[in-house]
Structures are given as structure tokens and as C-alpha cells.
Amino acid sequence: MTDLGPLTGRTIEELCRAGGATEGVLYLLDREHECYRRTAVLGSPSDSTFPGSLPLSHPVPHHLYASYKLALERHRPADMSQIAREPSVGSALTAMGVALVLPHVNRGRLIAFSLLGTPRSQDHEPASVNSLLAALAQTATNAFDTHMLYEDLHRSHLLMKRTDRLKSLETIAGGFAHEIRNPLTSIKTFIQLAPERKDDPDFIREFSRIVLDDVYRIERLIEEILDYARYMEPKLTEEDVNDIVSSCLYFIDVKADSRGIKIEKELASDLPRVMLDRQQIKQVFLNLFLNALDAMGGRGGSLRVRTRTLVKPGGKLWVQVETEDTGEGIQEGNLEHIFDPFFTTKHESGEHEGTGLGLTIVHQIIQEHRGEIQVQSAQGKGTTFFVNLPALSA
């Protein structure tokens, strides 16, 4: 179980069963808010006795942690008697009606604790009950720890994606400045001419339409850039891949131009639509295109982008995007590492130092879309990436 709700619920249930208690509460460490949060309850303990969250400094967790450390030093597991011996904790627990306290400690950290009410009867040997409880508590602790590792992993993936996205914003900003120059010129011209042509209805009608379109275009661009920069939860929408590819090519156009790199696009006209997260797929193509530009350095060359429909065995439709550059290519020994986190050959030599996260993110996003990515490369000649995405059937 990696889902926190059922996991903590089941834990407190099993602990209460083993300890013969009818009431129990489990508090789990909330690392973000630096407190312990009540995540599972058995029976009907009151909110005033067991608040929704307890500060780290509350005597119970505070002392549980201290006594655990003490116990570790003595090479003995922490037990209830030690905790109750501390007067402030003892009175806090008595006030709560708690008979048993189980610390969940992992790698020296109190990640949770379970508080159990008074047992129904004492028909079991206390020592055997305690060792059963200790074993159950340890199993639960391991599961909580796994859950926290999952959370950490998820968080670092998000962080990586975000860092990578902000990096490509620099290029986008350059493209944006270039993109809005034309519509701005037409708006300016209209405003300059309007006073003297205000009585010419054809002029006013025609130009108003153009200017309005230009304003919409600028608005759209601003929206696209903001969407791209802002991190949002993945959002799947039905999209035209050609449109996304074109928009990314727009953004890198200025950079390519300044390096004498020709961009050629061959976009299939009858491409099926794909359910995808527009901003994430943009991130994929921007990363691939920027890598292609880097591989060509200042020597010029060409970046050819093609889209096509693939029909896989069984009749399933896929959309393929091929990115072919005439850059330096990838050394054979490096091919198997290019998707590894932090693998980069750009060590301050070129315009920028690489983080080696670009292709890791690309791979991750494609996987999340149940797609595929393949690469072919010939040293000194160039590299081709194929991105396949499952399409919506017609």
C-alpha cells in the first residue's frame, strides 16, 4: 500500500486489535508544515483531546523522540514505561486517556506515532503483546518510510521539470520579442494613420479587423508563455501536434537564424489528434530542438522536423515527430546514457553549461503520455530523434 489513507487506517486498526484497544489515533509527520497530523482514527476519540495537528514541540512527540534516542544509546528498543516516566508526558497521556504509545522511528527520525486507548481486558501476557506491537509498528514504519520516499521522488521530478522549463524560457522570451514586433508595427501604423483616414470606412473596417487579430495574437502568445512558465497539474486536452511543433519552432527561430541554421518543416496535413498536456509536450520539443541547435554549434546546418501518422499492427494510430539535425552527432558510447539524469557533454565549453536534465525530462514526459522515443545518430553527420505519441482514433 502506497496510498496514505488506507495505509494509516489499516495500521491503527491492526495496532488496536493487537493491543486490545477500541480507540486509537495515528499522527504522521507533515514535513512541509512541520507538525504531526492526525491521519487515522479508530473509535470516536474527541477532537479536543486529539487535535488535527500537534506541533513538533508537543511533549508527546518531543519526548518520544528524545526517549527513542536514549533507548538507541542503550541498545534497547524504546518502550512505553520509559515514556510514561517523564512526568509532563505522563500527565499529557493520562489526560488523553492513552494507555499505549508506539513511536514509528526510521533512520533516527520520528515519522509517526500511534496512541492507543485502554485495553478492553488484560488477558494476554503484556510482554508478548508488546513485542507483537513493536513488530507491527516497525512494519508500518517501513511502509510510511516507503511512502515518504515516493513523495520525495515525485517532488524531485516536479522540481526537475520546473527547473528545466524555466531554462527554456530564456529562449522563449527571445522568440516572443521577435514575434510581437510585427503585430505591434501594424497596430502602430493604424494609430498613426487613423486621424487622417477616419472618414474612410473601408480603411477603418479593414484595419480594425487586422489590428484586432494582432491584439488577439499578442494575447495568445502571452497566455502561452505564462502557461508554460507556471507549473500546473498535468492537464490532458485534445491537441494538434502540428500546432505545438510550429509554436515551438517559432520560439527557436531567432536563435537558429542568428546561428545560420535553416529550419525546415514537413508537417502531415491529415494528422490525427492526440490527448496530451500541451505545455509538457512543448517542453519535450523545445528540449529536442534546443539540443539540435547546440549540436550544430556556430557552424550552421539544418534542423528538419517532420510529422506523420503511423499505423501500428492492430490498426492503432500514432503520431510521429521526427527531429533531424546535421550536428556533431552522439558518440556511440554515450548513446545509452543520454537519457540519464545529469548526463551532459556540455561542460562550459559552449554558450552554456548543460544540466543534463533536458532528455531525462523528455523521456519522463513521453512515458507519462504512454509514448515512445527513439534516437539514431552518426558521429559527425547528425542525430535524429523520433517521438511517437498514441493518437485518438478517427
To ligand ATP, the closest distance from the beta carbon of 391 in angstroms equals 25
Say which entry of ligand ATP, Mg ion, none residue 343 contacts (CB below 5 to 8 A, set by partner kind).
ligand ATP
Angle at 318 between CA 312 and CA 319, to 5 degrees: 140
Residue 53 Cβ vs ligand ATP, minimum distance, rounded to whole Å: 40
Distances (CA, A) of 9 to 27, 140, 158: 11, 11, 28
- Residue 383 binds to ligand ATP (criterion: CB under 6 A): yes
Q: Which of residues 353-372 bind ligand ATP (CB under 6 A)?
A: 354-360
Q: How many other CB atoms are there within 10 angstroms of residue 296's CB atom?
A: 21
CA 351 to chain CA centroid, nearest Å:
28
Whichever of 214 and 325 has its CB closer to ligand ATP, that residue is 325
Select the binding partner of residue 325 from ligand ATP, Mg ion, none (C-beta < 5 to 8 A, by kind): ligand ATP
Applying CB under 5 A, which residues contact Mg ion?
291, 358
**Part of the chain binding ligand ATP (CB under 6 A), chosen from 5-13, 44-52, 171-179, 341-349:** 341-349
Q: Which does 175 bind (CB under 5 to 8 A by kind): ligand ATP, Mg ion, none?
A: none
Under the criterion CB under 6 A, does residue 376 sit at the interface with ligand ATP? no
Q: How many chain residues are in contact with ligand ATP, going by CB under 6 A?
A: 22
Query: At 168, which helix (H) or strand (E)?
Result: helix 126-197
Could you write out the DSSP letters of every residue in 206-258?
Answer: HHHHHHHHHHHHHHHHHHHHHHHHS------EEE-HHHHHHHHHHHHHHHHHH
CB atoms closer than 10 angstroms to residue 138: 15
Instruction: Check residue 390 for interaction with ligand ATP (CB under 6 A).
Output: no
Q: Which of 346, 372, 376, 386 binds ligand ATP (CB under 6 A)?
A: 346
Window contacting ligand ATP (CB under 6 A); options: 84-92, 123-131, 268-276, 350-358 = 350-358
Q: How far is the CB of 360 from ligand ATP (least distance, A)?
A: 6
Give the 3-state secondary structure of residue 30.
strand
Question: For Mg ion, which is the closer residue by CB, 82 or 291?
Answer: 291
Please report how close the Cβ of residue 314 comes to ligand ATP at its closest, in angstroms.
Answer: 32
- 170, 22 in Cβ contact below 8 A? no
Buried b or exposed e, range 192-205, using 16+ CB within 10 angstroms: eeeeeeeeeeeeee
Residue 37 or 346: the one with the smaller Cβ distance to ligand ATP is: 346
Which has the closest alpha carbon to 113: 36, 220, 184? Answer: 36
Q: How far apart are CA 194 and CA 255, in angstroms?
A: 36
What mask, x for binding ligand ATP by CB under 6 A, covers residues 301 to 320?
A: --------------------
Is 267:242 a contact under the CB 8 Å cutoff? Answer: yes
Q: For 124, which DSSP code?
A: S
Name 172's bridge partners. none
Phi first, then psi: give them for residue 336, nearest 5 degrees. -75, -5
Give the three-state DSSP class for 44.
coil
Report yes or no: 249 and 241 within 8 Å, Cβ to Cβ. Answer: no
Of the candidate residues 183, 301, 327, 390, the single one contacting ligand ATP (CB under 6 A)? 327
Min CB(394)–ligand ATP separation in Å: 33
Cα radius of gyration rounded to whole Å, the chain: 31
326 binds, among ligand ATP, Mg ion, none (CB under 5 to 8 A by kind): none
Which of 183/356 has CB closer to ligand ATP? 356
Is the Cβ of residue 190 or residue 385 nearer to ligand ATP in the bound state? 385
Interface of this chain with ligand ATP, residues 283 to 302, rule: CB under 6 A: 287, 291-292, 295
Interaction site with ligand ATP (CB under 6 A): 287, 291-292, 295, 325, 327-330, 338, 343-346, 354-360, 383
